[in-house]
């Protein structure tokens, strides 16, 4: 209201959510713990986190060759429960984890950590040493 008694229309009603609650922990699904994979671009999957406040904004996926995640080798954000890294992994042993962030900026507790191995190299060719090619043998079990 101004000095002359004029009033303006009421402003729009706005809902404000105050959210201090972290999202729940995600459960890792794939790669399974101790899994061996041949692909350099594995697909990572996890169970969705719950958030009763502002809702989940995104998930943060990390993979490292150190179980303590001292220097993260790969990281990616995802809106759902599946992600793959933009670049291929190198062969080796990795650990991965996921955590959810809600729309208020609260970071969830990180998931458990799964170990997986990337091995895309086929084994070398094996050589048969006995019996020799074309050799006749009378043994029931060639050596």
**E strand intervals along 8-105:** 28-30, 35-37, 44-46, 56-64, 74-78, 82-83, 92-102
Read off the pTM: 0.76
Q: Which residues contact 110 (CB under 8 A, 6 or more apart)?
A: 25, 97, 98, 99
For tokens 């169970």, what's the residue?
A: 47
Task: Give the residue, 55 or 129, on which the prediction is more confident.
Answer: 55
pLDDT of 9: 87
- Number of neighbouring beta carbons within 10 Å of residue 44: 24
Encode pLDDT of 69-120 as tens digits. Answer: 999 999 999 999 999 998 899 999 999 999 999 999 999 988 999 999 999 9
Give the CA diameter of the chain.
Answer: 119
């Amino acid at each position: 209201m101004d000095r002359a008694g004029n009033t303006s229309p009421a402003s729009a009603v706005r809902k404000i959510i105050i959210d201090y609650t972290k999202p729940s922990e995600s459960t890792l699904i794939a790669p399974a713990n101790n899994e061996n994979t041949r692909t350099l671009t594995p697909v990572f999957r996890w169970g969705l986190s719950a958030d009763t406040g502002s809702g989940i904004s995104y998930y943060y996926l990390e993979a490292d060759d150190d179980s303590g995640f001292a220097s993260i080798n790969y990281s990616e954000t995802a809106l759902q429960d599946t992600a793959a890294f933009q670049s291929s992994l190198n062969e080796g042993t990795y650990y991965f984890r996921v955590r959810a962030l809600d729309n208020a900026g609260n970071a969830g507790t990180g998931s458990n950590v799964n170990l997986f191995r990337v091995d895309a190299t086929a084994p070398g060719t094996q050589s048969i040493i006995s019996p020799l090619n074309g050799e006749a043998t009378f043994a029931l079990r060639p050596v």
